[in-house]
Structure 1
């Protein structure tokens, strides 16, 4: 199976250097890597001297979550599988790439994603989010599973995900202009085309964010914008609010056990997430200047 790793970067920190080191330690040797650099200090160049790696420079103003990733795929039109990573996701062991690739032995699998573990030293909110969304059991889901799992059926994360080229082509590739969630867009399209989505619990990366409450608000505003503009996902798979309720209950139970004093912060944090999401769903009634101020993806509002 001919694979291609694609990593978009923008002002990466030391986590990106650790990621590159881990790629070199994989049991699959000399994996080809494409780095799409939209702005960096180029410290990583010394790390890739002994790697099968290409660097594509782009203007940060042209970056788009979907369009940039599709550009990377288009540069390698004959690959079997594209593996996407983000600059802050560190492969957890030498088998991570091998374990996400092997699921494509199942000819029905169109895309797959790995398990995300919290970074060392991650806060309790970030750690719980990873444990809630990324369990210990692998699975493969099809369109029929949407009756049981709703929107969660199309869940996937490009922090560590892989796509079969012919399946990606079958759904028209990544969208060229989304604020985020280009991964869910493709997974949902694949499910509607009768491809399967796989979760590989043994393909692991360290990846988490200790967002402030304001950052959480902005992130969920962007998610709401995506769901408003791609309303077919909510109509076909169900609204996201149901999954949100399950998360809040799980989070509260976690805090009661580990740190009850954080329950008040949880209420404020989750309330701001909900407010941000609802504002995003109704973004048409907001001015572009205001949306730019409350959005994490400010560059989207050109």
Structure 2
């Protein structure tokens, strides 16, 4: 049975999100900085601008990333966003071109020869493969009992993961969005006190879900993003049909929604924002009311519910 226990403090420090610095003089001219991570000391060197950056090591890493798609790309960008505390990351060779670009962009990242080599190099493994590929990919991966596993695969439960990652038992889940690249995202995680919480708290905020059902609900809700872009695209397409240049229409509509999206982070609840924009008798109020009366929002909610029920 997989146990989902809180990760010991020393193990949390190993993934490179919290460090204490120890400086040691060597000879008269050179200085080697060591970063303390639980039981280990990891060598770092001063970069040209004076900041501390870990020395790349093609044999060991703080974190292994299995599956390097757009989401993994964003997570890695976020993790190395603070050069003074950037973890060393072993990248799987899946999507070799993207892995190579990441390694070129970030000196603390390197591309392993295989998924197994990446996992062997690290104590923490981040699973970013597509859910449909997970059984095949993980069947060929031999993890250790001491491996800490964080999965960002939205539709695979901890119970489903357990036999795939055994004998590793320290397993947790997260549902990140690409905004983690800017270290300003809110990422749902489960369970509390897990490696997932530690990892994504450093990339903005870790939203701890009380149950696995709750994180599955968040996963279903986040599946509305593509529909959002379709909604915005429909408005842009209509505007272009009225004679505006399609590119200009896209910029205008995108600008509208980029601006109003900023309001979501200013503290007002959604009902207050709706009231502020739906002036009685105004055009905004007319379109919102028409869509509501046509059952648009009811259909949206029932569709999310269908997705939620379809999750394992």
TM (normalized to structure 1)? 0.34
Larger radius of gyration: 2
TM (normalized to structure 2)? 0.33
Larger RCO, structure (CA 8 Å, separation 6 or more): 1
